[in-house]
Amino acid sequence: MSRKIGDVILDLQNISLRFGGVKALTDISFNIREHEVRAIIGPNGAGKSSMLNVINGVYHPQDGKIFYRGVERKKMEPHMAASTGIARTFQNIALFKGMSVLDNIMTGRTLKMKSNMLLQALWLGPAQKEEIEHRRKVEEIIDFLEIQHIRKTPVGRLPYGLQKRVDLGRALAMEPQILLLDEPMAGMNVEEKQDMCRFILDVNDQFGTTIVLIEHDMGVVMDISDRVVVLDYGKKIGDGLPDEVRASPEVIKAYLGAGH
Amino acid sequence: MPTQVNFDSLDGLHTFPRLLFQHAKVRPTAPAMREKHLGIWQTWTWSDVAERVRALACGLASLGFKRGDNLAIIGDNRPHLYMMMSAAQCLGGVPVPLYQDAVAAEMLFVLQDAGVRFAIVEDQEQVDKLLEIKDQLPALEHIVYDDPRGMRHYNQPFLHDVHELMEMGRIHDRNHSDFLNAEVEKGHFDDVSVMLYTSGTTGKPKGVCQTHAAFIAAAQGGAQVDKLGSEGDILSYLPMAWVGDHLFSFAQSLVCGFTINCPESGETVMTDLREIGPTYYFAPPRVFESLLTSVQIRMEDAGKFKQRMFNHFMDVAKRCGGDILDGKSVSGGDRFQYWLGNLLIYGPLRNVLGMSRIKVAYTAGAAIGPELFSFYRSIGINLKQLYGQTETCAYVCLQPDGQVKSDTVGAPAPGVEIKIADNGEVLVKGAMLLKEYYKRPDATAESINAEGYFLTGDAGFLDEDGHLKIIDRAKDVGKLSNGAMFAPNYIENKLKFYPFVKEAVCFGHDRDMVCAFINIDVGAVGNWAERRNIAYAGYTDLAGKAQVLEMIKTCIEEVNAGLAHDAMVADSQVHRFLVLHKELDPDDDELTRTRKVRRNFIAEKYKVLIDALYAGKSNQFIETEVKFEDGRRGKVSADLKILDVKTFPIAKKAA
């Protein structure tokens, strides 16, 4: 019935990241399989976002190796991550507030546009044809995320929950193989969270996109992810199926404190 | 036999499928339906629609759909759903549209009652609802869905994609090329063409069986009064299960040949309205109300100069706009001012509202405030009222052009006879009457009297021009303990004419005074509160604010002042009120799906509140269970304040 979880697509081995004397990540290893929903959880300051930034090529770990589809990844810039099929959303939404929803999602297609700037500016020949194709893709995403009614609305005027959805839409516009979601549910009410969960699962299911998400809300994570990594103070303290992780004494200790 | 319909002009094409194939022959390339897909309006011509209906009908037949079978239709207004209606009719079956926002349990009764074997639904959401109750529906054999999204993992053999059904149909059609024509030929205009379930303000819903002849008569009569032709557009956004949509979108489009436009989604209706610019528009009063509210809210945010200009020209429009529309004589100065206003205000405003091209707009279903009504007429929109019910194809009275009064619902429509019973109940007779209630001969006998008149259940009278004036539901009209007439709806409507009041429920039958529950309009009151720096968390919080209560109190006092001038209802002034802690909601059974107040249910559910109102208490604690859209339950509780309202001495009696 469900999608097939494939081979390891991204393998992180013994990653350590320091900012000066501050150890953000210490000797962390885990892997991500194709088509799975992989969650990274942990208390505040556990190093979740740093981990995501390492995957995305924003931070470069001092130690450790990253294998992407079996090939060791050299030092890489974020735009290179994008062109290899890794897209992300941000914890503090990073959209162009003054631009419409449509245009914002369209920016996600930039990497896929082939025609040169002059042709694009004059909207000539191949550029026109290309733009129509991209627009179609964007409209499909708008349809998918059920945001038709705000297609032309400037993003700045939208409520937070919808902005998050647009942010996801822009990441989807890249047709990524791996989608990194940084706290997609933060600051949402119950209904918005449910919607977001449904969209994440739909993306995973329909497009087969591998999803790595960071989340605070344990309940949500346990419901939708296939495997969970738990970080605390930059160290990995748990890794496995949601139920295993939930039962692990170390995880309980990190979340609830000693004595439980 | 209802044979008064004049079929001469239709060349004997007197069932809906025949009308459809006639249009496909006469105007094959004219647009029949439009739908927005991926942000672009897609058009189906009459010949496209005929081809698809043919394919769908043959597809249904190859699944075993037979003459007399009922086809449930559940979903938003979608071309394929309208086409399925025609397809079922081609085979002599009966489409049964259901309200798409109902939860599964609510649909169960209708699906069981109609013994539905086939269903066409819009999407995964509706499929899930049907699967949820499928084990209680032994008769249900096949479910067809329009939107394949999310349906990949559903591999039940009884689920079919609509395109798959059409393919099956095309093959069937190739192998049995005479089959469908013969089926259509078998159709008779006295056959039931559709079954619409009444919303059930009282008891269980009843299936109203309407014939082809009835709906065609109603559609023709309306088209005749408003001179509707094949040129034109209607935006079909009201529930397909509602008689109004069936008449205006389905029946009239097939009779006249104009274009049905389906909005992209429920939320985009306003944008789609602007893009399509329909020539023919129907909306219940609450839609016109919320449009006006949004205009007023935006005007309050506009600059001083714009506000002054708006107010000035709205005064001009109020003075002479309606008369200009009715073709009455107006002074040259006013005419010039109106012309200028049209250029600067009314034109752009109509454009913003998506009403630039409107020839006729109708409202019905509830009373419309006189000010609201004249506002639209004054800015040049030919808004009219009509009166009818499911049992009469929504066709009893229409307001003819030039004779539009805000407090009546118009003159009897062509082919309709009206009589007022001794108890004030309105009785009607004509070709558009229902054939029967499905499997309910008792109810049929109760609602049609020996002379063939249908008992509408509404109390009203005919005025000096022969226009019908409706006061209230006949059974709702009660008496106060001093014997004065109490028409709750009448007072509630007066209250609801204030933009801050979304819903009102009045009590007073057999009591010594009238008390009211109020629901505030979150949009309007929220804006009002923001303007005054009143912070609030949500509906319940806002509804409990002392300033809000004071403001509502002033509104009610104004209503009381108005009531005091009318001897008939002067005793019905509202003495005490409270603002409810939650919005009345069809999901909690407090409103019907057409959003009418279910008075008795509310009276029972909130009995403590009513007791508190009449016991003279100044506050009352209440906890209520609410149902969320996804079916979960929660609780809302609040300590409600009860306020006394100033009443006015009765003017006529004093004099």
Render B239-288 in DSSP notation, one character per residue.
Answer: -TTSHHHIIIIIIHHHHH--EEEE-SSGGGHHHHHHHH--SEEE--HHHH
SS3 (DSSP) at B3: coil
Q: Which two tokens stand for residue B294?
A: 């949004």
Burial class, B504, CB count within 10 angstroms (exposed 0-12 / middle 13-18 / buried 19+): buried
Residues from chain B contacting residue A146 (CB–CB below 8 Å): 265
Question: What contacts B496, CB < 8 A, 6 or more positions away?
Answer: B289, B369, B502, B503, B504
Of A172 and A259, the structure prediction assigns the larger pLDDT to A172
- How high is the pLDDT of residue B49? 97
Predicted confidence band of residue A3 (pLDDT cuts 50, 70, 90): low
| Strand arrangement of the beta sheet that strand B383-387 belongs to | B40-45, B31-37, B259-262, B233-235, B280-282, B360-363, B383-387, B397-398, B411-412
Distance from CA of B444 to the nearest CA of A (A): 44
- How high is the pLDDT of residue B653? 45
Query: In B500-632, which ranges are E strands?
Result: 501-507, 514-520, 574-579, 619-627
Cβ atoms of residues A81 and A57 within 8 Å: yes
- How high is the pLDDT of residue B157? 93
Question: What contacts B653, CB < 8 A, 6 or more positions away?
Answer: B567, B570
Pick among B35, B271, B298 to test the A interface (most A CBs inside 10 A): B271
- How high is the pLDDT of residue B261? 96
* CB-nearest partner of B271 from A142, A143, A149: A149
Q: Token pair 């005027």 is at which residue?
A: A157
Q: Please, what's the b/e burial string for B45-64 (b: 16 or more CB within 10 A of its CB; e: otherwise)?
A: bbbbbbbbbbbbbbbbbbbe
The pair phi, psi for residue B319, each rounded to 5°, is: -70, -45
Alpha-carbon torsion angle A107, A113, A116, A118, nearest 10: -40
* CB-nearest partner of B38 from A140, A146, A152: A140
Dist. CA B23–CA B26, nearest whole Å = 5
The pair phi, psi for residue B458, each rounded to 5°, is: -100, 140
Distance from CA of A14 to the nearest CA of B (A): 39
Q: Which two tokens stand for residue B193?
A: 């063409």
Chain-chain contact of B267 with A149 (C-beta, under 8 angstroms)? yes
> Residues of A at the B interface (Cβ-Cβ below 8 Å)?
1-2, 135-136, 139-140, 142-144, 146, 148-149, 151-152, 191, 194, 202, 205-206
Helix B370-378, helix B304-326: angle, nearest 10: 90
* Residue of chain A minimizing CA distance to B36: A148
Cβ atoms of residues A108 and A174 within 8 Å: yes
Mean pLDDT computed over A143-171? 91
- How high is the pLDDT of residue A258? 58
β-pairing, A8-19 vs A22-33, is: antiparallel
Cβ atoms of residues B605 and B520 within 8 Å: no
Residues from chain A contacting residue B150 (CB–CB below 8 Å): 202, 206
- How high is the pLDDT of residue A259? 52
Residues from chain B contacting residue A202 (CB–CB below 8 Å): 150
Dist. CA B415–CA A40, nearest whole Å = 71
Chain-chain contact of A149 with B268 (C-beta, under 8 angstroms)? yes
Q: What is the largest CA-CA distance in chain B?
A: 84
DSSP at A228: E
Residues from chain B contacting residue A140 (CB–CB below 8 Å): 38
Averaged pLDDT in 10-residue chunks for chain B of 655 residues: 40 80 94 91 96 96 94 95 96 95 89 94 94 93 92 90 96 93 90 88 83 93 90 93 93 94 89 92 86 85 91 91 86 92 93 91 81 89 91 90 84 91 86 91 90 89 84 80 83 85 91 92 89 88 91 92 77 91 87 82 91 90 80 82 86 47
Dist. CA B451–CA A80, nearest whole Å = 83
- How high is the pLDDT of residue B499? 82
Distance from CA of B384 to the nearest CA of A (A): 29
Dist. CA B448–CA B425, nearest whole Å = 13
* CB-nearest partner of A1 from B150, B153, B268: B153
- How high is the pLDDT of residue B429? 93
Query: In B47-93, which ranges are E strands?
Result: 70-74
- How high is the pLDDT of residue B557? 92
Alpha carbon A7 to its chain centroid, in Å, reads: 19
Residues from chain B contacting residue A2 (CB–CB below 8 Å): 153
SS3 (DSSP) at B354: coil
- How high is the pLDDT of residue B290? 83
Number of CB pairs < 8 Å for A and B? 33
Chain-chain contact of A205 with B152 (C-beta, under 8 angstroms)? yes
Alpha-carbon torsion angle B578, B579, B582, B586, nearest 10: 80
The helix, strand and coil proportions of chain A, stated in percent and rounded to the nearest 5, come to: 40, 25, 35
Pick among A140, A142, A143 to test the B interface (most B CBs inside 10 A): A143
Chain-chain contact of B39 with A148 (C-beta, under 8 angstroms)? yes
Q: What is the largest CA-CA distance in chain A?
A: 69
Cβ atoms of residues B146 and B82 within 8 Å: no
The pair phi, psi for residue B580, each rounded to 5°, is: -65, 150
Pick among A106, A133, A134, A148 to test the B interface (most B CBs inside 10 A): A148
Dist. CA B234–CA B381, nearest whole Å = 15
Question: What contacts B413, CB < 8 A, 6 or more positions away?
Answer: B218, B221, B222, B225, B386, B395, B396, B397, B398
CA distances from B306 to B85, B294, B298, B302, B371 (A): 49, 16, 11, 6, 22
Mean pLDDT computed over A144-171? 91
Cβ atoms of residues B292 and B374 within 8 Å: no
Mean pLDDT computed over A173-190? 89
Q: What angle do CA B89, B93, B94 make, to 5 degrees?
A: 85
Dist. CA B572–CA B486, nearest whole Å = 6
The pair phi, psi for residue A32, each rounded to 5°, is: -125, 130
Dist. CA B544–CA B637, nearest whole Å = 11
* CB-nearest partner of A139 from B38, B271, B628: B38
Q: What angle do CA B308, B312, B315 make, to 5 degrees?
A: 140
Burial class, A114, CB count within 10 angstroms (exposed 0-12 / middle 13-18 / buried 19+): exposed
Chain-chain contact of B39 with A151 (C-beta, under 8 angstroms)? yes
- The domains of chain B, with CATH numbers, are 14-279 (3.40.50.12780), 283-356+358-473 (3.40.50.12780), 478-644 (3.30.300.30)
SS3 (DSSP) at B606: coil
Dist. CA B167–CA B58, nearest whole Å = 9
DSSP at A3: P
pLDDT tens-digit series, residues A99-124: 999 999 999 888 777 777 777 777 77
Nearest CA to A250 out of A238, A233, A241 is that of A238
- How high is the pLDDT of residue B568? 66
Cβ atoms of residues B44 and B34 within 8 Å: yes
Chain-chain contact of B265 with A146 (C-beta, under 8 angstroms)? yes
**In this structure, which amino acid lies at residue B389?**
Q
User: How far does chain B reach from its first CA to its final CA, in angstroms?
Assistant: 56
